[in-house]
Amino acid sequence: MNKNPLKKQQTKEKIFQAFFREYKQKPLRKITVSAIADNACINRCTFYEYFKDVYDLLEQAQETLIHEILACLDQIKEQDNPHKFELFSAFGQNILYKYGEQMAVLLSHGDTGFQKKLLNAMKPFLLEMLGIDDNDIKTNLVISYALFGITGYITTLYGSDTSITNQEAVRTLQKLMVTSLSQLPDASLPIYLYAK
């Protein structure tokens, strides 16, 4: 049976959402295909049309999430704006709103593979936005520190009962990033970032 591509994408998204609901509550080894299928209101056969097993689902969920975040970053790069860094606030709010909880779930389960993939995907963008070269060891250390800080912040934000808006969360995160990145010898951070 040849399904409509939109229908296939919607079904896959339902499975991803069901998986995240399960993964938020229990470790991966305790998640079953049956539980995901029940949660997604599909049958097990439909699950296997898209994924080999729960581990394949996890891998595809990670790749999809990183791909979607990079697509948002590419939209910023395509903007004809000499101060592209100004778009970071809107980007940050959008990312937290759309993907924050999913990132926190993946990061909080100790999956260092996902964290590495996410950081490796974001690093070139950050270096380009700042206009710096990563050949210097100090630059690499500071950028890594800033990016690990972002992932730690997101994990803590969604793992706590505090309720702050995405806008507040992004403002705080931006301050932390500026503090970290100001340690770079060749970083020319936009002055408006310091005032936030």
Domain boundaries of the chain, sorted by first residue: 1-51, 57-194
The mean of the pLDDT values for the chain is 81
pLDDT score recorded for residue 83: 61
pLDDT score recorded for residue 186: 57
| Residue 44: count of CB within 10 angstroms of its CB | 12
pLDDT score recorded for residue 195: 43
Residues of the chain with confidence (pLDDT) below 50? 190-196
Residue 196's closest CA among 176, 157, 77, 166? 176
pLDDT score recorded for residue 167: 77
Query: For 156-181, how does the pLDDT look when each residue is reduced to its tens digit (9 = 90+)?
Result: 888 777 777 777 887 787 777 777 77
Alpha carbons 160 and 4: distance in angstroms, whole number: 40
Residue 164's closest CA among 69, 98, 96, 68? 96
pLDDT score recorded for residue 2: 62
Alpha carbons 158 and 2: distance in angstroms, whole number: 39
pLDDT score recorded for residue 11: 94
Which amino acid, residue 28?
Answer: L
Please report, to the nearest 10 degrees, the dihedral formed by the alpha carbons of residues 42, 48, 52, 53 taken in order. Answer: 30
Entry pTM: 0.80
